[in-house]
Amino acid sequence: MSSSDCLPSDHLPLSARISSVLKRLRLAGPRIHCLTGALAQERTADLLMAIGAVPTMGGAPEEVRDFAASADALLIDLGAMEAMTAKTVGRAIDGADVADIPWVLAPVAIDRASARRELAARLLKRRPRILRTNVPELLTLVPPSDSIAGFAKARHTTVILSGVIDTVSDGARQYALSNGHEMMGRTPAMGRAVTAIVTAALAVEPNALVAAAAGVSIVNVAGEIAAERASGLGSFVSTLIDVLHDLDVDDLRQRLDITREDIDAAELIAEDVK
């Protein structure tokens, strides 16, 4: 990535700002409350703790508002809907809003369940700072003729569109994030854990576009290194946790593979299946 590829509000290149996010995560130890499914909870907690964050889980109706309000950022993962209600999710967001806590929405599997799809549409009106999704999920929320940037701008959010190459856009700027390894896609709940790292990044970085790029890139670079060291898929996760814990900021910056994209020439969502 070119060192001149700066965000308008900052003289530092995006690569330097991503490295700074990793430093601040370790120094701040942000508290992240996660509403996520049972399958993802252990993976999510492991990765959050590896980067220095302090995770809490759970959506008990009588507690969720307080947990959200006392966190530094909130993750709403609709994969948790098997264990909680839409009312519980609403209470969590109420707590975050009252305390001015940023929150991230992961509309997991909304393309396969109408109740989740309807809930996701309602939650978008409450303006999550970041939405992390994939093409099938996003196509349930927006016409195929729209672009990622157009959707982000209309919804006043930052979108992460996951794929072999991840895309992040806040409607004004868009980046392709090319780090990562295929083993990550073969590891259960890895994508949902990545969203939790994005949430942690948002706790220490007020610019949602930077936080989105940082959270994804930190884990993806660690995934590349872990794949080089692991003997197979079984050892990949434990190696990834170790790499995340020990990841050097200079190594992170040197490995980053990020390209700024032309918003006007960006592909339509329906064409962006990677």
Per-residue pLDDT at 85: 87
Chain centroid, CA 249 distance in Å: 19
Per-residue pLDDT at 272: 55
Domains in the chain: boundaries:
14-264
Which comes out higher in pLDDT, residue 145 or 247?
247
Q: Which residue has the tokens 């949430």?
A: 199
Nearest to 202 by CA among 32, 76, 47, 16: 32
pTM: 0.94
Q: What is the pLDDT of residues 90-129, one digit of tens each?
A: 999 999 999 999 999 999 999 999 999 999 999 999 999 9
DSSP state letter for 72: S
- Give the range among 36-40, 82-86, 132-136 with minimum mean pLDDT: 82-86
Per-residue pLDDT at 83: 72
Per-residue pLDDT at 4: 39
- Distance CA(99)–CA(68), nearest Å, equals 8
Nearest to 130 by CA among 92, 95, 103: 103
The CATH homologous superfamily of the domain defined by 14-264 = Ribokinase (3.40.1190.20)
Task: Indicate the average pLDDT of the chain.
Answer: 92
Span 189-210, average pLDDT:
98
Does 66 have pLDDT greater than 70?
Answer: yes
- Give the range among 3-7, 62-66, 110-114, 156-160 with minimum mean pLDDT: 3-7
Does 74 have pLDDT greater than 50?
Answer: yes
- Which 3 state secondary structure label does DSSP give 256? coil
Per-residue pLDDT at 270: 57
- Distance CA(249)–CA(254), nearest Å, equals 9
Q: Residues 150, 151, 156, 159: is their CA dihedral positive or negative?
A: negative
Contact predicate 119/86, CB 8 Å:
yes
Contact predicate 153/146, CB 8 Å:
no
Span 226-241, average pLDDT:
97
Per-residue pLDDT at 1: 45
Span 176-197, average pLDDT:
97
Per-residue pLDDT at 146: 85
Per-residue pLDDT at 11: 63
Per-residue pLDDT at 271: 56
